[in-house]
Chain A
Amino acid sequence: MWAFLKEDSSVRYLPHSVSERRQLLEACGAASAEDLFAHLPADVRLGRPLALDPGRSEYEVADYFHARAAENLTGRPCFLGAGAYYHYRPVLVETVVSRGEFLTSYTPYQAEISQGTLTAIFEFQTMLCQLTGMDAANASMYDGSTAAAEAALMAARITGRQGVVVARTVHPEYRQVLDTYARNRVLEVAACGYSPETGRVDLDGLSRAVNDQTAAVIVQSPNFFGLLEDVDAAAEVAHRHGALLISVFTEAVALGLLAPPAGADIVAGELQSFALAPSFGGPYAGLLATRERYMRQLPGRLVGETKDVRGNRAYCLTLAAREQHIRREKATSNICTNQALVALMATVFMTVYGKQGLRELAAQNLAKAHYLAGKLPLRFCGPFFNEFVAQARGRSPDALNQAVLERNIIGGLPLGRFYPELEDCLLLCATETSPRAAMDAVAEEFGHG
């Protein structure tokens, strides 16, 4: 039943010819493929072929995906943000990461033949420290949501406490992930509300929620509504009770212009904006960075600088004794992979923009969003970056978006699904890619309600 395919069934990813297979089998002392599996019990064998289509040529595979791609509406101005952002992607990003030496290499456990990856990660770690004001950054987490959850677990380890207070203005899906992670480590998560006028964390409410059992306070800035939080004030509340302050971000471009949170102990965030297009939600890369004194509590991979035995500067994975392959059940986390290729995309992006470019990019985002916001009825007052909440008047957000769609534009995110109290509102994001004409069209539709 399990015979090798005949010669004329071509499966181009398999290098053996029929005669080579025969040679290999002979060398193994086997007469046929069956002999290699003689030891498999009969009751585990699948008695039929897999119920999957026959294999396709490269061109047929391409046809399939082109057809699927055509079934998604893209290539139009889109005002969605909410954790995934549209930015121009410098061509160099693709050029670098499509090199086989980066794309098809393995985790750099063997430092002697992985200095390319290790050096790039070291540069990545450095740049993220420079941007966030932290002392140590790891080589990336799965995404912003899991980075935030791991930050909470890290704070619990450091303080020995069980409580976490998270602002409701942190991305709702990030909070859901935190709940899932916390439930199984016996962490207690409490939410802290926001002010209906400013759309920002209610600091009095925060003061009441934080106590001497709180390991961490988690705030996001810019928050889910796009507004800048007073992170230092939140940090002061946290520190007064001996808790840590975790600052979260979802829009990395903001780091180019906004002051890093001086009071934060841990920064967790999403680097998608620096790396790749929204890609229907993944793969992304999360950031986890902290102060020097908490460095050994960071989960995930870390690259360190050292020398080789000849005295040359070299890089290697380090502090592995935190990790799962050594500590096993006592590991700081179970994380094995880092999002190396996505982190490399971010590294190239940050390099291409550079010190001046990142600031300019952020400034353009600011200008675009403020242009659009200036024409819309805003729900909250207060400084914001490239996202804001606007109220639909006279018709529902869905009806508004339908009208906007008829003008070949995808509108903002109706907030009712996450915040029932804001069911007449939408979250809109404008970036350097948003054309003025599209923003004018959206503004017109808001006015037509």
Chain B
Amino acid sequence: MSTYPANYWYTKEHEWVQVEGDVGTVGITFHAQKELGDIVYVDMLKAGAPAEMGKRIGEVQSVKAVSDIFSPVSGEILEVNAALVDAPEILNQDPHGAGWLARIRLSAPQEIGQLMTAADYQAYLAEET
């Protein structure tokens, strides 16, 4: 059974962001990794690249599918999770923790207001499936 951390914010495209100060850590949800299947490759924009809310910042590949990752927030990419290069399976094992994709310095923190809470997201999932 998956738990969606209560202090994270969620998007309709199944990304999450966890905010501390002006830095957001971004990833994909448990639901997303389950849909994709075994992740084989993660390809994100580099540190220093700009991120824009709703725009593509990378992609995640499984054997049978590819999914674009859309940034939940705008700002600058500070860091990309290097551990996923050699071990993309971490994304399946711990999508809300060790499987984070990128850290972004927020340029517009008020954007968080447009995202879903954990409760909203789970309700959204129940509707979708």
Please list the residues of chain A having a beta carbon within 8 angstroms of any beta carbon in chain B.
296, 320-321, 326-327, 330
Closest to A316 in B: B63
Besides the known contacts A321-B64, A321-B65, 5 further A-B residue pairs in the complex with CB atoms under 8 A apart: A296-B41, A296-B43, A320-B64, A321-B63, A326-B64
Q: Report if B51 contacts A (CB, 8 A).
A: no
Closest 5 CB pairs of A and B: A321-B61, A321-B66, A327-B66, A326-B66, A326-B65
Chain B residues, CB < 8 A from A296: 41, 43
Q: List, in ascending order, chain B residues with CB within 8 A of A320's CB.
A: 63-64
Q: Using Cβ atoms and an 8 Å threshold, which residues of chain B touch A321?
A: 40-41, 61-66
Name the distance in Å between B124's Cβ and chain A's nearest Cβ: 25
CB contacts (< 8 Å) of A327 on chain B: these are: 66
Kindly state the separation between the CA atoms of A374 and B66 in the bound complex, as whole angstroms. Answer: 58
Question: Chain A residues near B66 (CB, 8 Å)?
Answer: 321, 326-327, 330
With a cutoff of 8 Å between Cβ atoms, the chain A residues found around residue B68 in the complex are 330
Q: How far is the CA of A321 from the CA of B61 in the complex (A)?
A: 6
| B60 nearest in chain A by CB position | A321
Report the minimal beta-carbon distance from B2 to chain A, rounded to whole angstroms.
24
C-alpha gap A62/B61 in the complex (Å): 51
Minimum CB distance partner of A330 in chain B: B66
| Nearest CB of chain A from residue B80's CB, rounded to whole Å | 16
**Chain A residue with Cβ nearest B67:** A321
- State A296–B41 Cα separation when bound (angstroms): 10
Tell me, in angstroms, the Cα distance from A321 to B62 when the chains sit together. Answer: 7
> How far, in angstroms, from A320 to B61 measured CA to CA in the complex?
10
B62, B66, B68: most-surrounded residue (chain A CB, <10 A): B66
A330 to B66, CA, bound (A): 9
For A330, list chain B residues within 8 Å (CB).
66, 68
CA distance A321 to B65 in the complex (A): 6
Q: How far is the CA of A368 from the CA of B70 in the complex (A)?
A: 61
Q: Roughly how many angstroms separate A268 CA and B63 CA in the complex, as a whole number?
A: 27
Contact partners of A326 in chain B: CB under 8 A? 64-66
Chain B residues 51 to 78 lying within 8 A of chain A, measured CB to CB, are: 61-66, 68
- B65 contact set on A, CB distance < 8 A: 321, 326
Chain A residue with Cβ nearest B64? A326
Nearest CB in chain B: distance from A49 CB, A:
45
- Least CB separation from B43: chain A residue: A296
A-B contact pairs, 8 of them (CB 8 A): A296-B41, A296-B43, A320-B64, A321-B40, A321-B62, A321-B63, A326-B65, A326-B66
Q: Which residues of A contact B41 (CB under 8 A)?
A: 296, 321
Q: Which chain A residues lie closer than 8 Å to B62 at the CB level?
A: 321
Specify which chain A residues have a CB less than 8 angstroms from the CB of B61 in the assembled complex: 321
In whole Å, how far is A321's beta carbon from the nearest beta carbon of chain B?
4
Distance of B64 from chain A, by nearest CB (Å): 6
Q: A370 to B68, alpha carbons, bound, how many Å?
A: 56
* Shortest distance from the beta carbon of B66 to any chain A beta carbon, whole Å: 5
A314 to chain B, nearest CB (A): 15
Q: Give the distance in Å from the alpha carbon of A320 to the alpha carbon of B64 in the complex.
A: 7
Cα–Cα, bound, A327→B65 (Å): 7
Q: Which parts of B16-73 form the interface with A (CB within 8 Å)?
A: 40-41, 43, 61-66, 68
B40: shortest Cβ distance to chain A, in Å? Answer: 7
Q: In whole angstroms, what is the CA distance A318 to B18 when docked?
A: 34
Complex CA gap A320/B41 in Å reads 11
> How far does the Cβ of B36 sit from chain A's closest Cβ, in whole Å?
10
**Once bound together, how far apart are the Cα atoms of A362 and B62, in whole Å?**
44
Residue of A nearest to B61 (CB): A321
Which residues from chain A contact B43 at a C-beta distance below 8 Å? 296
State in angstroms the CA–CA spacing of A317 and B41 once bound together: 16
- Most B CB contacts (10 A, CB to CB) among A296, A320, A330 go to A320
B56 to chain A, nearest CB (A): 10
B113, chain A: closest CB distance, angstroms? 31
CA–CA, A296 and B65, complex, Å:
15
Shortest Cβ distance from B3 into chain A, in angstroms? Answer: 29
Cα distance A113–B45 in the bound complex, in angstroms: 39
B105 to chain A, nearest CB (A): 23
Task: Give the distance to chain B from A332, nearest Cβ to Cβ, in Å.
Answer: 11
User: How far in angstroms is the closest Cβ of chain A from B96?
Assistant: 24
Assembled-state Cα–Cα distance A296/B43 (Å): 10
What residue in chain B is nearest A325 (Cβ atoms)? B64
Q: Given the complex of chains A and B, what is the CA–CA distance between A321 and B63 in angstroms?
A: 6
Which of A296, A321, A327 has the largest number of chain B CB atoms within 10 A? A321
Chain A residues within an 8 Å CB radius of B40? 321
A295 shortest CB reach to chain B, Å: 11
A323 smallest CB distance to B (angstroms): 10
